Structure 1
Amino acid sequence: MCHQFARLLALIFACLMPLAPVFAGAWLQQEGQGFSATSLTLRRDLAAVRGLSPVQRIPAEFGYYGEYGLHARWTVGVDLNVSRGRSAHALLFARRPLPQLGRANTAVELALGLNQSSEVWAPMQRVTLSYGRGFDTRWRDRALSGWIALDLGHEWRSKGREQTWKLDATVGLNRPGKLAPLLQVETSKTAGAAVSVAVTPSLRVPLARRFGQDAPELVIGFQHKRAETRSLGVKLAIWHRF
């Protein structure tokens, strides 16, 4: 996994030019425009899938993310996540651009809200630094464009008693109105716990081709996650620009 992640980081610096993606933290929404993503993830313990242990129930995870361009230099939004019987959070956030690094976009985001742990709600804060860069390249004589993004975040949950570092990477292709691949790698480390890694290759499917690049999209992904247990999952999401 470490070697694969290193290759992903190396690919970032091989990108050629900036190009705004559908959804990434380093880019701000244009004033008066927005984006939303509603997702559902279903997982099953990998050992149970292989028939090596009894089936272990892993709660379904529901998420909603929405952001809106309040100003040319301010994007605001909401981040909701619920893992039934385990945890949840509800955050409001604001994002502001930082100076560009060459041809790459950077931004900082501050989120405030609440998190639930053991059925108790407590204050939660999150700070995220984002890096994003688009690319144009050719593969087998075909022009390809897309983006790569890195998001480094630090969370304080339960009044700061639980602190977590997160590093997420996203690679996607731009193919308006057509099927487009997407790869997400999410890592997190909470004090006193093992590193959690989730790898999710996905396919973006336009739901209404007549709307072109603004068409709502169905995102279908298969996830392998290593945390307290190793699990396989299916992730479904609806992306929508407004």
Structure 2
Amino acid sequence: MSHHFARLLALILACLMPLAPVFAGAWLQQKGQGFSATSLTLRRDLAAIKGLDAEQRIPAEFGYYGEYGLHRRWTVGVDLNLSRGSSAHALLFVRHPLPRLGPANTAVELALGLNQSSAVWAPMQRLTLSYGRGFDTWWRDRPLSGWVALDLGHEWRSKGLEQTWKLDATFGLNRPGKLAPLLQVETSKTAGASLSVAVTPSLRVPLARHFGKDAPELVIGLQHKQTETRSLGIKLAIWHRF
């Protein structure tokens, strides 16, 4: 793990505060309940946006994530991702809780499947440790609740020939039936490659208010991503609890 990656990990950990669970990560789904997220991200290289290189385009990225509470201590799911003309993965995963750290939830997740690179599919594995805390407080005489989730993962792609560390953080507020802000920070470091950082501030928009807390949501975000190049994109997602 690079020096910059370690510094980023320390910074995110330093920002943690007593935070309420929403889904995924350190929290398991209740038995018989589930959650799904379908997303589409459209990016454009910043050089192209500024008119410096009109031909430089970043492939669109499609993702599907679904999980289901098989047992009170076992959540299973699927993680699909396709970056047009670039890469893809298809994973099945299982999540199990770890001992609580005070008010915080922790969990371990193992994912197995395939990844595609240069039109060749190969075995892929991922191990993730998750930490999550929720908070309930007051702001301007109104109740306010939210959560923070932190996921540290290690991926083995292409039969282990490509190994990647990932650290993702999600900060959000709970506002059932109302507009709610969300901030996602995704980082990854593959051996021999540059550190990748994507920052996506978003807004969760309920699509059917009469469903209350279980209403499907449209998530609209603006993403800034830096790898070898810098890109700006729009991320759209549909969240659904069932």
Q: Same fold (TM over 0.5)?
A: yes
Identity of aligned residues (%): 82
Aligned to 2:192: 192
Aligned to 2:67: 67
Structure 1, 194-203 or 48-57: larger mean CA deviation: 48-57
For 1:57 and 1:10, how far apart are their aligned partners in 2? Answer: 36
In the TM superposition, residue 20 of structure 1 has moved relative to its aligned partner by 1.9
For 2:119 and 2:185, how far apart are their aligned partners in 1? Answer: 29
Equivalent residues of 2:106, 2:132 under 8 A apart: yes
In the TM superposition, residue 208 of structure 1 has moved relative to its aligned partner by 0.3
In structure 2, list runs of 5 or more residues that go unmatched: none
Q: Structure 1: which amino acid aligns with 2:128? A: T
Which residues of 2 match residues 89-108 of structure 1 at below 5 A? 89-108=89-108
Q: Deviations over 1:191-218 (max 9, x none)?
A: 0000000000000000000000000000
For 1:57 and 1:47, how far apart are their aligned partners in 2? Answer: 10
For 1:163 and 1:37, how far apart are their aligned partners in 2? Answer: 26
Aligned to 2:21: 20
In the TM superposition, residue 51 of structure 1 has moved relative to its aligned partner by 2.0
Change (3 A) 1:185 1:94: same
Aligned to 2:119: 119
For 1:142 and 1:10, how far apart are their aligned partners in 2? Answer: 27
Structure 1, 117-126 or 43-52: larger mean CA deviation: 43-52
Which residues of 2 match residues 61-210 of structure 1 at below 5 A? 61-210=61-210
Equivalent residues of 2:199, 2:224 under 8 A apart: yes
Cα RMSD of the aligned pairs, angstroms, is: 1.6
For 2:228 and 2:82, how far apart are their aligned partners in 1? Answer: 18
For 1:162 and 1:5, how far apart are their aligned partners in 2? Answer: 22
For 2:8 and 2:178, how far apart are their aligned partners in 1? Answer: 28
Change (3 A) 1:140 1:52: farther
Aligned to 1:10: 14
Residue 220 (str. 1) matches residue 223 (str. 2): no
Helix, strand or coil: the match of 1:211?
A: helix
For 1:188 and 1:210, how far apart are their aligned partners in 2? Answer: 39
In the TM superposition, residue 189 of structure 1 has moved relative to its aligned partner by 0.1
Equivalent residues of 2:48, 2:57 under 8 A apart: no
For 2:117 and 2:238, how far apart are their aligned partners in 1? Answer: 27
Equivalent residues of 2:37, 2:238 under 8 A apart: yes
Q: Structure 2: which amino acid aligns with 1:156? A: W
For 2:183 and 2:145, how far apart are their aligned partners in 1? Answer: 15
TM-score by length of 1: 0.94
Q: Deviations over 1:71-128 (max 9, x none)?
A: 0100000000000110000000000000000000000000000000000000000000
Q: Structure 1: which amino acid aligns with 2:21? A: A
Change (3 A) 1:232 1:217: same
Moved over 3 A (4+): 1-8
Equivalent residues of 1:45, 1:55 under 8 A apart: no
What is the number of residues matched between the two proteins?
238
TM-score by length of 2: 0.94
Helix, strand or coil: the match of 1:10?
A: helix
Equivalent residues of 1:132, 1:149 under 8 A apart: yes
In the TM superposition, residue 137 of structure 1 has moved relative to its aligned partner by 2.3
Q: Structure 2: which amino acid aligns with 1:34? A: G
Equivalent residues of 1:24, 1:132 under 8 A apart: no
Q: Structure 1: which amino acid aligns with 2:167? A: L
Q: Structure 1: which amino acid aligns with 2:71? A: H
In the TM superposition, residue 50 of structure 1 has moved relative to its aligned partner by 1.6
For 2:144 and 2:212, how far apart are their aligned partners in 1? Answer: 17
